Structure 1
């Protein structure tokens, strides 16, 4: 599909606009990173960063109808990048920015202890089994990269103490049997 860009010229901004990762609720950071790459490469991030009114204040020549056309295309593409179970809950969002902000609020808690715990659990149970080394290493590296995004390097003594305490709690929780799953989830939700 070709659409008219803001300056009136034709281009292929939305042709084959697809995202390589489907948001399933457990992979927000990967989804966000790959989605930003696709949108940024087509100069469409303004649709998830700003409203029409905010941009109109900066650029008075912006045409609302064209903005809405672009925004609906970005919104539609974002919808296509969501797992069906997530799409059903968030299809009410009317703009790309509203959907982006809502998903970020729900899934993008970068201090999400539940996700840190899940990654540490996955790392602890990761086995090569029948996969080749490159596949195994790719899974390992992906988990480590996500953990590094959730817990970036710091020299802040307070943050380091908090992480050390969290790791002690994770160690205990990881040693519990599956009958404690609900208790573990409750602890992780309440943990600061």
Structure 2
């Protein structure tokens, strides 16, 4: 345990209370962000300059961590939920950069939304962007650059800026 973290638990009256405090602090955490990050990393992992053994070691390490967060099971309801979560993770990983804030927000919720609810949220965000005339960040930077230079050009030419 890191020294700074141990300070939080240093005055526990017994080891049982210490373990209960640690469990309460970490057991209720939503691991969706880490699971998403691991799944995205596994999907994009390439051998590159690493040997096969190093590459396999990296992959197995991520798989083992995923198994810790999402143990294998036979309960059909839990299997369906896990499959739905996998669809959510794949959808989020496939979205463009303009949805980064939305998927960060959705991953931080107490319980990961269902695939259907995730689709609704993305559609609402797309409509909101259209109604608010929000452009992707790369285009808006270009527009600001163009607008600033147009105003400068207009002043040089003696025109009033709109």
TM-score normalised over the length of structure 2: 0.55
Q: Does structure 1 conserve the Cα–Cα contact (< 8 Å) formed by 2:30 and 2:108?
A: no
Contact 1:117 1:170 in 2 (8 A): yes
Residue pair 1:90, 1:99 contacting (<8 A) in 2 also: no
1:186 to 105, 116, 121: 105
Deviation at 1:110, TM superposition (A): 7.4
The corresponding residue for 2:38 is 119
In the TM superposition, residue 92 of structure 1 has moved relative to its aligned partner by 3.5
1:182 Cα shift?
Answer: 2.4
Asked if 2 retains the 8 angstrom alpha-carbon contact of 1:114 and 1:189, the reply is yes
Q: Which has the larger radius of gyration?
A: 2
RMSD: 2.6
Give the count of matched residue pairs: 108
Alignment correspondent of 2:143: none
Which of 25, 45, 55 is equivalent to 1:136? 55
**In 1, Cα distance between equivalents of 2:94 and 2:67:** 23
Question: CA 1:107 to 1:92, structure 2 compared with 1: closer, same or farther past 3 Å?
Answer: closer
Deviations 1:68-99 (A, max 9, x none): xxxxxxxxxx235xxxxxx2x66343247566
Residue of structure 1 aligned with 2:93, choices 171, 174, 189:
174
1:94 and 2:17 matched: no
Secondary structure, aligned partner of 1:130: coil
Q: TM-score scaled by structure 1?
A: 0.48
Distance 1:164 1:131, change over 3 A: same
Question: Whole-Å Cα distance in 1 between the matches of residues 45 and 53 of structure 2?
Answer: 14
Supply the distance in 1 between the matched residues of 2:8 and 2:30 (Cα, whole angstroms). 27
Change over 3 Å in CA distance of 1:133–1:165 after alignment to 2: same
Larger helix percent: 2
- Deviation, structure 1 residue 178: 3.1
Instruction: Report matched runs for 1:40-119 at 5 Å.
Output: 78-80=1-3, 87=4, 91-95=7-11, 97=15, 101-109=20-28, 112-119=31-38
Q: Does 1:160 align with 2:83?
A: no
Distance 1:153 1:92, change over 3 A: closer
**Structure 1: gaps (5+ residues):** 1-77, 81-86
Cα deviation, residue 109, structure 1? 4.7
